[in-house]
């Protein structure tokens, strides 16, 4: 395994996940507020699941996103 290539590819993947996830969460929250589903001051339970089938990885992160 080429460690440098692996590290670069992994960082690129994680950056893409972070940027696109933030964009989708922001859009969903704004749409929910506009649609009256939430008020805008809630604490939202969030869960992210990362899977890599070929190595048997399933990693879950549970947390809360506070809207203020």
What share of the chain in percent tops pLDDT 90? 100
15-43 per-position pLDDT tens digit? 999 999 999 999 999 999 999 999 999 99
Average pLDDT over residues 56-68: 98
Residue 40 structural domain: 3-66
Q: Strand, coil or helix: what is 51?
A: strand
Average pLDDT over residues 44-58: 98
Domain total of the chain: 1
What is the reported pLDDT for 53?
Answer: 98
What is the reported pLDDT for 63?
Answer: 98
Q: How far apart are CA 36 and CA 9, in angstroms?
A: 40
């Amino acid at each position: 395994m080429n460690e440098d290539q692996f590290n670069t590819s992994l960082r690129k993947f994680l950056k893409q996940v972070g940027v696109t996830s933030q964009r989708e969460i922001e859009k969903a929250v704004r749409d929910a507020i506009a649609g009256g589903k939430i008020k805008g001051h809630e604490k939202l339970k969030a869960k992210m699941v990362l899977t890599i089938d070929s190595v048997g990885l399933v990693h879950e992160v549970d947390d809360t996103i506070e809207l203020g």
